[in-house]
Structures are given as structure tokens and as C-alpha cells.
Amino acid sequence: MDVLIQLVLNGILLGSMYAIISVGLTLIFGIVRVVNFAHGEFLMVGMYAAYLLAAKFGLHPYAAAVPIVILLFAIGAAVQRFLIQPLLGAEEHIQIFATVGLSTALVNLALLVFGADLYSIPPSAAQGTVMVGGFSLVKGQLVMFVCALALVAGLHLFMQSTALGRAIRATAQNRTAALLMGVKVDQIYVIAFGIGAACVGLASALVMPLYPVTPTIGTYFVLTAFVVVVLGGMRSMYGAFFGAMIIGLVDSLSGYYIAPDLKEVVYFAIFLAILIFKPTGLFGLGRGTE
């Protein structure tokens, strides 16, 4: 019983990490309608930035979150403006090739600059644990849990109650209608891609104290993030949040009760089942929401 509770707690905390990484991917997919295969590499870039800020300026990653979020916003916006936008008229798979290419380029750039070695920041309090009723919880993961909730709530407020948020929602719902209503759709796309990348920038600052960074670190997280996004119904931020929690729990429980090397099998089986039986995702809005 104790083990079960510990596993559930770990699953929820793990889920909040998946959530904070997946929210940006969902936003980009839901609004810009681009499957961003370079999402994991954005995380990697953010983590190297966090490492450099810690190593050169002694900045704790949590404090470094602000410059990293701004940096990632700029990178995301630039990618949309200079890579995706020229391809908007082209077929969808061309955009996918573009992001896959970007991902490969970023991994190799990191290899060139940093080499294949792993870098980590000096141990900090985030690595410690707190004991709650006999169960150990990692502080850094608790911070992630709170930040994930705050991020989703913050984005909700932003989308619902600001003019820009409304314009973004309008663009996501119907690009042509939004254009007719005077929304500068191209600009909205640039901003939305930037926000999506900024979210993963926040994630990288939170992940850095717990995981060392290597050029391929993105691939550790991104496959799970895609599963989360599909599970959550592709474009729903709230869906992604709950999808991430489910994956976190499945990951934790099946790793213990079935086998650690089969946990991917379990959640990809769930992934396939959802694609077959409920293609719009658990929290999807149903077909025809274009």
C-alpha cells in the first residue's frame, strides 16, 4: 500500500513535468497548426542556456527562467517568421520536414559547441526531498507541479480576457474569418509560436536542476510530449494537462507493476487505442472544430 501511494505521488509529479513541457507543443499545434518536431530541441537550447547562466553568472535556474523565457520566445517567433511562414502556402508535410530539419540542425549544433558530454549545474536545494507522511517528494518536482498549474491558469486568463488572447483564439478557430475581422493573422502566428516556445523555456529552467543536459536530451521528453498532446485532444491546453497526469501515472505504475522497460509499451498501447477509438483525444472538441 505504501509503495502504491508513493508511486501515485511520483506519477502526479512526473505528470506535471510532462504537462509543463507539453503545453507549449499543444499551443503551437492548436493555433499555428504546425507539428513542431523541434520542440524537444527547444527544451535542450533552454537547458544549455540555464547551464551557461548558472556556470558563468551563478544564476539559479529558477532566477534564470526570466531571461530564458524571453530568449525562447524570440527563438520561437523567429522560427515562425523565417522558417514556417514562407512555407505556409506549401503542403503541410513540408512544414513538418522543416521542423524535423531544424531539430537535426539544433542537435548537431549543440554537439559542435558542447560536445557529447553531459553538463549539470551544481547541486541545489531543488534536488532535495521533503517527507510528507512517510512519503518522499522531490522539491524540484513540487515546484514544477505548482508552476504547471500556474502556467495553465495564467494562459487561461490570458486567452479569455485580453484582446490579444481573443485574437489568438479567433485565429485558432477560423483563420479566414479572423482575417476578415481584421486580425493580423501572420502576426498572431508569430506571437503564438513564440508563446509556445516560451512555455518550453520555462520548462527547461525547471528541468535543469533535476536532469543534466546533453545534445540529445530533447528526445528523452519529446515523444512523451507528443503522446500527451494527442491524448489531450490535440489543441486543448487543459486536455494536455490531464493527459500528462495520466501518462505520468501510467509511467510510474506500469514501471513498477509490469516492468520498467515495458512502460513505453503500455502508454503507446493507450496512445494507439485512443487514435483508433477516439481520434479527437480524451478531451477533444470532436470533429469539425476547424
Positions in the binding site for other proteins (CB under 8 A):
3, 6-7, 10, 14, 17, 111, 115-120, 123, 127, 129, 136, 138, 210-212, 214-215, 217, 219-221, 224, 251-256, 259-261, 263-264
- Least separation in angstroms between residue 142's CB and other proteins is 12
Q: Looking at beta carbons only, is 30 or 209 nearer to other proteins?
A: 209
Give the CA angle between residues 237, 137, 261 to the nearest 5°: 75
**Minimal distance, residue 118 CB to other proteins, in Å:** 5
Q: How far is CA 129 from the centre of its chain?
A: 24
Q: Given the complex with other proteins, which of 238 and 256 has the nearer CB atom?
A: 256
Nearest approach in angstroms of CB 213 to other proteins is 10
Rounded-to-integer distance, Cα 259 and Cα 242, Å: 24
Amino acid at 139: K
Helix (H) or strand (E) holding 225: helix 217-231
Question: With respect to other proteins, which residue has the nearer C-beta, 134 or 182?
Answer: 134
Residue reference for cell 515562425: 80
Please say whether the beta carbons of 61 and 50 come within 8 A.
yes
Compare residues 129 and 162 and give the one whose CB is closer to other proteins: 129
| Residue (79 or 266) nearer to other proteins, CB | 266
Q: Min. distance of Cβ 194 from other proteins in angstroms?
A: 26
Q: Which is nearer to other proteins, 48 or 283 (CB)?
A: 48
- Which residue number, 3 or 163, has a Cβ lying nearer to other proteins? 3
d(CA 22, CA 59): 26
The least CB distance from residue 36 to other proteins, in Å, is 20
Distance of CA 96 to the CA centre of its chain: 17
Q: Between the CA of residue 244 and those of 151, 230, 249, 281, what are the distances in Å?
A: 14, 10, 9, 13
Least separation, in Å, of the C-beta of 220 and other proteins? 5
Q: What share of the chain is helix, strand, coil (3-state, %, to 5)?
A: 75, 5, 20
CA torsion through residues 17, 23, 26, 32, sign = negative
Q: Where are the beta strands (DSSP E) in 56-200?
A: 129-132, 135-138
Nearest to other proteins of 5, 94 (CB atom): 5
Cell numbers linked to 232: 489531450
CA distance 180 to 172: 14
- Least Å from the CB of residue 49 to other proteins: 18
Whole-number minimum distance, CB 260 to other proteins, in Å? 4
